[in-house]
Structure 1
Amino acid sequence: MASIGTRPKGVDQEARSAVTRLFDDTRRRLVETGTRNRLIHVNRANTRGNVLNIVNEHSDDVHALLSGGKTMRFFALGKDKVEDSGEVVLANVIGQRSEEDRRTDSWLETRLGPDALQKKLLKIAREAQTAEEESGVNVLYLAMGFLTWYEDKASSLPREAPLVLLPVELVRNARTSTFDLRVRDEDALTNLPLQQRLRDDFGIELPELEIEEDWKPSDYFTEVQQVTRSRERWKLDPDAMQLGFFSFSKLLMYRDLAIEAWPDDALAAHALTRGLLYEGFEPEEPLFTSNDKLDEVLPPEKLFHVVDADASQAKVIEEVRSGRNLVVQGPPGTGKSQTITNIIAAAAKEGKRVLFLAEKMAALTVVNDRLVKVGLRDICLELHSRSANKKAVLGELARTLSQASVVPGVPGAPTALREGRDRLSSLAEALHRPIGATGETAYSVLGRQSQFIGKGMSPPTLEVESLHSMSRQQEIDLLATIEEYGALLAEEGRTASHPFEGTGNLHLQPVDLARLTISLTEAQVAVTSLAKSLRMPVDALALPNTAAFDVVAPLADVLGRLEGLPLNAADIAQKVLDAPDIPRLHQALRAGMAWRHALDQALEAFVETAFSASSNHLRAPLAAGIRSFFARWGGRYRGASRELAGLLRGGLPKTATERVARIDQLTAVTSLRSEWEDDREYCGRILGDAWRGEKSDFRKLVAVAEWCERLSKAPISVRSDKSIALAAQVDAL
């Protein structure tokens, strides 16, 4: 923990220059300007990648249609295969439609055949969806206008780079089962890496993209032609278009790191910037010491935890609330997202704003879902690319403002929590209270017992009356006496090796002696049979060769637990038994099986894409139709019904109640998925190749986990590899 120090003003100016150079160098490295970047050079002749070239279209007309809110469909000009060759044929001629029809219709022509076109669109749509689900960033753009340029005068290799990039998405047409193109509610972008490359290599300032009313791509292309007309052989194709992936993930970082873009030198002069880059941090006294009792330092009325938090997490939350700078590290599953959830809730309670950033969208989703689950949806505003458009942000703000008039319930004093804490504290105090003059506590005694049990030692029978008053020195002296006695036994040997040594009943009657022979013979046969029966499982499980009656019941228990191992599941069972927390894994897999069952049922009614789209907004207008006949004539109800129909495989239910039930069914599947998604990484780390995420065989994995959890609770410890090997031999078992 540290605080920011201070430096003389003379050093400040020198450090300011160094920071400026550091930021400039970092910004240059953020924008890759080499020809390996598809924004610097696109080989449009290569059609094997995840790109789709658009032909016979005009940029201005396509932009006008898309920006006007219309969707466009793709038209295949080519044929799929040549006879006897199997190769895709690209069309080289224009069809029968006139030029005017091409400019005004809603079709985008390609040179691919119908089958090849649909396969290409399906692949692009899946990859775009995967990229957005993992990172929350859209990378699918319709590139308009390509600049052909050369790296120097002597170069004979032309380079092509897009100029205007329109953010788009592929949406499945439920009626035709094809993909349509629709513009996203985001601003069009210019080619920033190309802008940097032209500035650095040629001193050419590529103009910024300033989109106003009635703006057309040709307006921008005219500006580009004016600044590049002095370059020989350079040319601009204004109507060249390509649908493909272009990464702008570092664009905002590049702009944000511009020192001059921050008013009053706010970035370079920020306390954290100074501390991290050149001033360093002064050490601070820790907020908590090892001698502090956390219950006294953090009473219940001071805490504000909306989800569970242990002692280490509570300390982190208080460090952040006190305004300190810190780094928290921990492997997956240690509760970092829980801690972040509590930090955000506590900050909101204190009237502060929190910006939560993460590299993966899954991390954002986990924290957001936790906040929503505890009733704090109204304090959350999602700002990743999927929901960062103006319409979505304004809608969220409107919803939050409407909820501001609702007076929330204020919880009472944490009396029950304080009482529960005090009970637990009294138990802990009792565990650590000294036992007479022994120098021991209940906690230390239990620890020593666990140590002996872990070593496989049989518990002795001792006189309790003498133990509770025995001091530590008396114990040491007694142990020395026992050790000396053991040494004497080893040296002198036992007094007799007769099996009846120690027998006290020496006054048997003749009749008793006669019966004793029969009883001993029967006992010998039974014991011999038992010893033989014990040897097989003891050898198979590599257990200590102990011939004792006490082993029989636990061993029979273990053999019973070995039954029921699923077929061909030995490798999976070995991984599960090696897991540090089998119950947690079992719970996650059960949640996955429940989700899979619900998903299979829902797939009978819904199309697959329904589970990747948000449908929460449909419930309110449909629910209004249950309560009001007139609401069912309203535009919101009918619009929600149309959108629901697009998610269903069959016809739309007739009643509003049935339609709401469909939405609830879809929401339930999403909710069930979140229950095992939290432990997705943990399951993958434990199960390895057997874990395939949502495609995993949950039913089999649950059966293996149940078997492993049952075996882990056996009364005696057995080697996992031996147990699995024996369980796989059903006949022998």
Structure 2
Amino acid sequence: MSPVELNDNEPDPERTAKVTKELKRMRLKLLDLTARNRLLDFKASPGRGLPLVHCSPDRICRRLLAKGDELSVLPIPEPARSHWLMVGDRLSRPEIRDAAELAKIDPALELGTVTRALGDSEVRALHYADDLARHCRKLQREAKSALAETGANILYLVFGLLEFPENNDSDKLLTAPLIAVPVRFEPLPVDAATGHLSFGLRYTGEDIEENRSLREKLKQEYNFDLPEFDDEAGPEEYWRTLAQQIERKARWKVQRRVCIALLSFAKMLLDRELAPENWPRDADGASILVEHDIVRMVFEGAPPANEVGDGLRYHAPLHAIDGHALQDLPLIYDADSSQHSALIDVFAGKNLVI
């Protein structure tokens, strides 16, 4: 990488275009358009997701977003002992799908038209009470840990999945979340009937996340623009709109599913922050981000030290610590001379990469 001069004040269209192009390439790497990205190849595996059944997506969404209500996550009711099965030498509960059907609950993960749904403030998971409590505790624990460590929420209520081929020549089908509403678990009183802890879901108030990885993947591979979600219209209308747009696309399908899932949109937040259009423009109409000296240094390299003074160079010099004005910095840990020199440069306001 050859050094360049940064002391010109006039925007250079050629350099600006180059930095913009490199910035876009970096943003695409953040989005990760490969099948390794869980936002493109999603599975509600145990410990990472909890599918819901027999519910009305529009009613759930309306209660969460418009009214801010809490949704109780309910289990499949325990069947009467007369329906238990003898397995070996002991009575066992029926398979969970059979128990759901006994309770007249549709166990299908692909949601149909629910004629007898739960109340507006309830959702149902395909688990008995003890299993459901265990799954909810694990999801809550993972979400709390991520929030404490990174400051970012990773617990979402996902409305709908898009199934599509990885590319035109691939047999592999990807399944990507469409709408992700940030939620949090709230423990409810122990259910007197089951003796197990109950959980509720509440909207956090943060922005509904758009799957930018999916949008960019479809744009690049298929030149397809994913429609925008209107929370006032609801998930059902969005699913219908998308289904109409992909009607003639082979192996594309909107999966009418709702599930609680752990998802990370942290890299998408970085992508959003690095979008030049989200930054103000200077008096000449140039993006402050693209024209910033530090951003240009990242992509073009630093100029030689003798061109702009001692503030910029490829390798920072080591300071003579003894006798330096900052020799007595209140360090938490012991530092060698190079580490102490780096701290001195930071206090001097220099830009550096360690």
TM-score range, shorter chain: 0.7 to 0.9
**2: CA distance, partners of 1:206 / 1:106:** 30
Which residue is 1:230 aligned to? 248
CA distance in 2, matches of 1:138, 1:161: 19
**Which of 122, 125, 144 is 2:140 aligned to?**
125
**Which whole-Å CA distance do the structure 2 matches of 1:282 and 1:319 have between them?**
18
Q: Per-residue displacement from partner, 1:468-518 (whole Å, max 9, x unpaired)?
A: xxxxxxxxxxxxxxxxxxxxxxxxxxxxxxxxxxxxxxxxxxxxxxxxxxx
Percent identical pairs in the alignment equals 25
Residue of 43, 49, 52 corresponding to 1:51: 49
The 8 Å contact of residues 59 and 145 in structure 1, kept in 2 or not, is answered as no
Question: What is the CA distance between 1:105 and its match in structure 2?
Answer: 3.5
CA distance, structure 2, for counterparts of residue 100 and residue 110 of structure 1: 18
Distance 1:260 1:72, change over 3 A: closer
Cα distance change of structure 1 residues 51 and 232 upon mapping to structure 2, 3 Å threshold: same
* TM-score normalised to structure 1 length: 0.38
Q: Is the 8 A contact 2:159 2:258 kept in 1?
A: yes
- Provide the secondary structure at the position in 2 that maps to 1:323: coil
Aligned to 2:274: 257
Flag structure 2 segments of 5+ consecutive residues without an equivalent: 107-113, 192-196, 312-316
Give 1:320 shift.
Answer: 4.4
Tell whether 2:181 aligns with 1:166.
Answer: yes
Measure the CA separation in 1 of the matches of 2:347 and 2:211.
Answer: 42
Shift, 1:278, TM fit: 1.3
Match of 2:63, SS state, is helix
Q: 1:91 aligns to what SS in structure 2? A: helix
Cα distance change of structure 1 residues 198 and 314 upon mapping to structure 2, 3 Å threshold: closer
Counterpart position of 1:106: 121
> Which has the greater radius of gyration?
1
Bigger drift between 77-86 and 101-110 goes to 77-86
Query: Cα gap change, 1:148/1:79 in structure 2, threshold over 3 Å: closer, same or farther?
Result: farther
**Which residue in 2 is equivalent to 1:563?**
none
Structure 2 CA distance for aligned equivalents of residues 48 and 292 of structure 1: 58
The 1:112–1:280 alpha-carbon spacing in structure 2 relative to 1, beyond 3 Å, is same
Query: Matched residue of 2:87: which SS?
Result: coil
Q: Return the alpha-carbon distance in structure 2 between the equivalents of residues 60 and 274 of structure 1.
A: 47
Equivalent positions of 1:3-402 (< 5 A) are 5-6=5-6, 12-43=12-43, 48-67=46-65, 68-77=67-76, 83-84=86-87, 89-92=95-98, 93=101, 95-96=103-104, 102-151=117-166, 158-176=173-191, 177-211=197-231, 214-238=232-256, 240-262=257-279, 263=281, 264-283=286-305, 284-285=309-310, 290=320, 293-294=323-324, 319-320=345-346, 322-327=348-353
1:101 offset after TM fit, Å? 5.5
CA distance in 2, matches of 1:321, 1:169: 40
Query: After superposition, what is the alpha-carbon deviation per residue over 1:327-357, rounded to whole angstroms, capped at 9, x for unaligned?
Result: 5x6xxxxxxxxxxxxxxxxxxxxxxxxxxxx
CA distance in 2, matches of 1:291, 1:159: 57
Shift, 1:183, TM fit? 1.4
- Quickly say closer, same or farther: Cα 1:109–1:12, change in 2 above 3 A: same
Q: CA deviation at 1:221?
A: 2.5
Pairwise CA distance, 1:309: 11
C-alpha separation between the residues in 2 aligned to 1:290 and 1:188? Answer: 52
- Whole-angstrom CA distance in 1 between matches of 2:170 and 2:13: 44
* Aligned amino acid, residue 272 of structure 1: I
For residues 36 and 323 of structure 1, what CA distance do their matches in structure 2 show?
Answer: 39
Q: Deviations over 1:28-85 (max 9, x none)?
A: 11112233333223345xx544321101111110111222222112222276996427
**SS class of match (2:160):** strand
AA of the residue aligned to 2:103: G
CA distance 1:154–1:20, shift in 2 (3 Å): closer
1:234 to 1:6, Cα distance in 2 relative to 1, 3 A: closer
Change in CA separation of 1:290 and 1:205 when aligned onto 2, cut-off 3 Å: same
For residues 605-616 of structure 1, the aligned pairs below 5 Å read: none
Cα deviations across residues 440-469 of structure 1 (Å, max 9, x unaligned)? xxxxxxxxxxxxxxxxxxxxxxxxxxxxxx
CA–CA separation in structure 2 for the residues paired with 1:317 and 1:41: 43
| Structure (1 or 2) with the greater helix fraction | 1
CA distance in 1, matches of 2:290, 2:271: 15
Q: Deviations over 1:190-223 (max 9, x none)?
A: 2221111111111110023354xx4422343343
- The number of residue pairs the alignment matches comes to 315
Change over 3 Å in CA distance of 1:88–1:118 after alignment to 2: farther
Determine which structure has greater relative contact order: mean sequence separation of CA pairs < 8 Å that are 6+ residues apart, divided by chain length.
Answer: 2
Structure (1 or 2) with the greater strand fraction: 2
Q: How far apart in 2 are the matches of 1:173 and 1:156?
A: 45
Give the distance between the partners of 1:315 and 1:36, measured in 2 at CA: 40
Equivalent-residue separation in structure 2 for 1:52 and 1:66 (angstroms):
17
Residues 252 and 154 (structure 1), Cα distance of their counterparts in 2 relative to 1, 3 Å cut: closer
One-letter amino acid of the counterpart of residue 38, structure 1: R
- How far, CA to CA, are the matches of 2:5 and 2:174 in structure 1? 51
Counterpart CA distance in 1 for 2:332 and 2:167 is 63
In 2: Cα distance, 1:94 partner to 1:221 partner:
30
- The aligned amino acid for 1:229 is E
Equivalent residues in 2 for 1:576-595, closer than 5 Å: none
Query: Which amino acid is 1:84 matched to?
Result: V
CA contact (8 A) 2:156 2:180 kept: yes
Distance 1:154 1:129, change over 3 A: same
- Does the 8 A contact of 1:165 with 1:189 survive in 2? yes
Query: How far has the Cα of 1:319 moved from its partner?
Result: 4.5
8 A contact 1:145–1:162 mirrored in 2: yes
Question: Residue deviations 1:606-646, cap 9 Å, x none?
Answer: xxxxxxxxxxxxxxxxxxxxxxxxxxxxxxxxxxxxxxxxx
In structure 2, give the amino acid aligned to 1:224.
Answer: L
Give SS of 1:104's match. Answer: coil
State the Cα deviation string for residues 175-199 of structure 1 (Å, max 9, x = none): 5432211111212122221111111
Indicate how the Cα distance of structure 1 residues 87 and 194 shifts in structure 2: closer, same or farther if over 3 A, else same: farther
User: Are the structure 2 counterparts of residues 308 and 36 from structure 1 closer, same or farther at C-alpha, using a change threshold of 3 Å?
Assistant: closer
